[in-house]
A = this chain, B = another copy of it.
Amino acid sequence: MAKYIYAFDEGQKSMKDLLGGKGANLAEMKRLSLPVPDGFTITTEACIEYLKQGAKLSDTLMKQLYTELEAFSQRSQKSFSSDTELLLVSVRSGAKISMPGMMDTILNLGLNDENVKKLAVKTNDARFAFDCYRRLLQMFGEVVYGIPMASFDKYFNQYKKQQGYQNDADIPAEGLKDICEYYKAIYLEKVYKPFPQEPVKQLTEAIEAVFKSWDNERARIYRELNEIPHDIGTAVNIQEMVFGNSGEESGTGVAFTRNPVTGEAQLFGEYLLNAQGEDVVAGIRTPKDIDTLKGQMPTVYQQFVEVSQQLEMHYKDMQDIEFTIENGKLYILQTRSGKRTARAAIQIAVDLVEEGIITEEEALQRVDIKSIDQLLHPNFDEGALKQAVLVSDMGLPASPGATSGKIVFSAENAKFESEKGNKVILMRPETSPEDIEGMIASEAIVTTHGGMTSHAAVVARGMGKCCVTGCSNIEINVTDKIVNYPGGTLYEGDIVSVDGAKGDVYKGEIATIEAESSEAFETFMKWSASKARLDVRMNAETVPDIQAGYQFGAKGIGLVRTEHMFFAPERLVEMRRFILSDTHDQRITALNKIKTYQVVDFEKILELSGDRPTIIRLLDPPLHEFLPNSQEDKQAVANQLEVPINELEQLIENLNEVNPMLGHRGCRLAITYPELYLMQVEAIIESALRLKAQGIACQPEIMIPLVSTVAEFSILKTNINERIDRIQQEAKESIDYSIGTMIETPRACLIAGELARECDFMSFGTNDLTQLTFGFSRDDAGKFIGEYADKGILAKDPFQTLDIEGVGNLVKMATEQAKAVNPEIKIGVCGELGGDHKSILYFNKLNIDYVSCSPFRVPGALLSTAQCEVEVSHKYAK
């Protein structure tokens, strides 16, 4: 027969699966002989069984409950029916992982019309007794019978107002008694049944309420989102009451063993005297700082300090402790690892290592990877935020940061305003490569279309620039230069504030708090880097980004996107000249001009990298992306290049593609225009030669994108090698370079073994690979991906977290084949997923050498890969 009930002194902290987090910790504290009120825990298995049996408490469980209540009475010498030694209990849920939506707490259970009187007599405090009773009535009504809390509060406030009482404490015993009577009437009115007077009935109904709350919708959704299994159930903790509301020698409070905001190693907490349970958080009375307790109750304070130190040492982590003082005696009601800010998490982790409490490996596991982002970007001041008017709260948190500026609707205007010294926010339905310079000039980018991996999102993250995409509840009208949002209209020049970490846009300017680095952060990142198996590189091409990435610990550059270098006006005109050329000679002339710029670009990048590897991807986008869209721009370009407008229009028409993502781009461009890649290769090698002349060694790695056949790669590689040989012979110098490919098409994965014979390295471009594997365009998927998440079709956005079954499987197959054929080949991931923890967990298991992500995601990625290794080595150690 299953044991469904454990007395606190039968359990311990390792029994979380069975007793839940709260129950296991209460048992543990009991084992440590801490002052914990006695009680027992009904197991998670009992919950599962209850739900499986169609919401029925089994005879077995009821029998065990009666036996345990008997034993409990014996131990405490109290009972639900005793006149003098009255047993009152609290009932609390406690799953293995705490989650919102679960039933929380019922206090003072056991009180009824009889017992409240006994309590009044025993404590000689009728006011206290009826205060406890009305609290029970209210909590039980809400939690067990679903009577809205507001029904009780409304009456309570009316009564206070009628009688002219200022504070709750002003209400005398008689008043509270009346309130209890009225509360009981609410039961009859709302649920057509009276408050159960029988304590055991109260208890069993409360237990059932906890069990049922495991299956309520909010809890289910939370579990879905957080990938918590549905079949682990919750435990129920039944504990003897202690009363923080039994006078001025009593109180209740919450404390953290260290500062949860800064991580400072100093007790941090609040308490209220003569208060119970939720009073501290309800905000009716202002709680006092825990330090004050030192003066008010020095012995209790000292005892609490000792307990909290003991608990932190025992659990080896910062604790969040609930306590109650009853008539000068301290009781501990709960302890758990305390929630903390990213900054505090790192500070505490580093401090705990330095205090010798935990190892570096343990410290690495203490920090949530997602929180690292917070550390690297400014945030809005929480106070100021509360006052702010929302424009949209439906956007996607595409790139973190918090900033304000004037609205502009075009890249040109963004540049224009920013050159005048104005901070601007670029708002567009979506962005395209043509907008790059405008994006650089802006503080933040806001779009209505597109998802987390739309052009705006990817580019902004690359730049470490704040960005919110997919604000589907607003309309950005570029023609009329207005933004319609649910609360009104915004015009060009209006100020908005953008929170890229949350995906929110606000009206007006909001004060920000700057990100700051700390010694602890640097120490922590050093530990991460030392434990990581996978190298972490960055996707970057601008000087500030590259500097940032190296500062954050990147081991090289995994992706230089050269197309971003073609949009400066003096280059764009040459690129357009190239596209419009009729002859090979004309094309070469245009390309040679671009080359002079590219040499400078690459020299800067390669110099910053020095002997760290730098993967330069040759031109990837289709040519039409370099041509103008609007009639105005077309005319301007026609004038500038001195071609008839209709010829230009015809060319644009000819280059237009139905599905540009699947079009004439990547290496396909170089098959038709070999000179394009050769120009870039010349620029790379010439810049490397210049650096060599200055005594700077560098390691350019040339990457050919969008390969789907071995022949594409071999042909281009042969061309490139021939050209480089010629340059090196002319220069009588040689450069250490390599040539590899980006694996972005499913076919490239399927023939990876053959490709690997030809390549020095391979880099998975997970964005395109995911698009092609699913047949989703990331530019268009916004229209249905929300529905897909809602209906549970996609648990995770596959552009943000690796789709293991599909894309992951292709990556695995390709990696295995490639390494089997060419064990020397370097394999990396340079798509968006290169910075995602869940994805890194998977990549770390494969024979992959590095991941590459936006500079600002480098620290998170480093920590991810370090955590993988720490987990792995722990597993082997066991």
Contacts and interface: CB of A to CB of B under 8 A. Distances in A.
Contacts of A664: 780, 783-784
A810 B813 CA distance: 12
Contacts of A807: 747
A798 to B, nearest CB: 9
A657 B449 CA distance: 11
Contacts of A662: 659, 661-662, 771, 775-777, 780-781
Interface string A704-736: 001011011001000000000000000000000
A774 B659 contact: no
A172 interface: no
Given A664-B780, A780-B663, A715 B791 contact: yes
Contacts of A792: 711
Interface string A759-783: 0000000001001111111011101
Nearest to A747: B806
Contact of A805 (B751, B768, B779): B751
A514 interface: no
Interface in A575-602: none
A374 B774 CA distance: 39
Contacts of A693: none
B777 A658 contact: yes
Nearest to A475: B650
B657 A774 contact: no
Contacts of A48: none
Contacts of A775: 661-662, 706, 708, 744-747, 768, 772
Contacts of A715: 791, 793
A404 to B, nearest CB: 29
Contact of A806 (B659, B708, B791): B708
A793 B711 contact: yes
A259 B775 CA distance: 53
Interface string A620-657: 00000000000000000000000000000000000001
A155 interface: no
A71 interface: no
Contacts of A657: 777, 779-780, 783
A807 B709 CA distance: 12
A453 to B, nearest CB: 13
Residue from the set A712, A775, A779, A791 with the largest chain B CB neighbour count within 10 Å:
A775
Contacts of A750: 773, 805-806, 809-810
A716 to B, nearest CB: 10
B746 A777 contact: no
A261 B708 CA distance: 44
Given A659-B659, A780-B657, A711 B671 contact: no
Contact of A746 (B668, B672, B712, B806): B806
Interface in A820-865: none
Contacts of A663: 777, 780-781, 783
Instruction: Name A's interface SS.
Output: helix
A106 to B, nearest CB: 39
A714 to B, nearest CB: 9
A11 to B, nearest CB: 40
A660 interface: yes
A174 interface: no
A504 interface: no
A701 interface: no
A191 to B, nearest CB: 35
A776 B711 CA distance: 16
Residue from the set A660, A771, A772, A792 with the largest chain B CB neighbour count within 10 Å:
A772
A806 B750 CA distance: 6
A803 interface: yes
Nearest to A657: B780
A672 B784 contact: yes
A566 to B, nearest CB: 20
A611 interface: no
Contact of A791 (B671, B779, B791, B803): B671
Nearest to A793: B711
Contacts of A809: 750
A783 B624 CA distance: 13
Contacts of A659: 659-662, 777, 779-780
Given A659-B779, A664-B780, A774 B747 contact: yes
Residue from the set A657, A662, A803 with the largest chain B CB neighbour count within 10 Å:
A662
Nearest to A671: B787
Contacts of A668: 784
A383 to B, nearest CB: 38
A772 to B, nearest CB: 5
A365 B662 CA distance: 39
A50 B768 CA distance: 50
A182 interface: no
A754 B668 CA distance: 35
Contacts of A776: 662, 708
A222 interface: no
B711 A791 contact: yes
A670 B712 CA distance: 39
B671 A788 contact: yes
Residue from the set A661, A711, A793, A805 with the largest chain B CB neighbour count within 10 Å:
A793
A59 B783 CA distance: 76
Residue from the set A661, A712, A768 with the largest chain B CB neighbour count within 10 Å:
A661
A660 B660 contact: no
A829 B712 CA distance: 29
A313 interface: no
A794 interface: yes
B771 A747 contact: no
A568 B806 CA distance: 39
A793 B667 CA distance: 12
A658 B447 CA distance: 15
Contacts of A751: 805-806
User: Nearest 10 pairs between A and B by C-beta?
Assistant: A662-B777, A659-B777, A747-B806, A746-B746, A658-B779, A663-B780, A745-B775, A711-B793, A659-B661, A657-B780
Given A662-B776, A664-B784, 11 more contacts: A657-B779, A657-B780, A659-B662, A661-B775, A662-B781, A663-B780, A671-B784, A711-B791, A747-B803, A751-B805, A772-B775
27 contacts: A657-B777, A658-B661, A658-B777, A658-B779, A659-B660, A660-B780, A662-B662, A662-B775, A662-B776, A663-B777, A663-B780, A664-B780, A664-B783, A671-B787, A706-B775, A708-B773, A708-B806, A711-B794, A715-B791, A745-B773, A746-B806, A747-B775, A750-B773, A750-B809, A750-B810, A751-B806, A772-B772
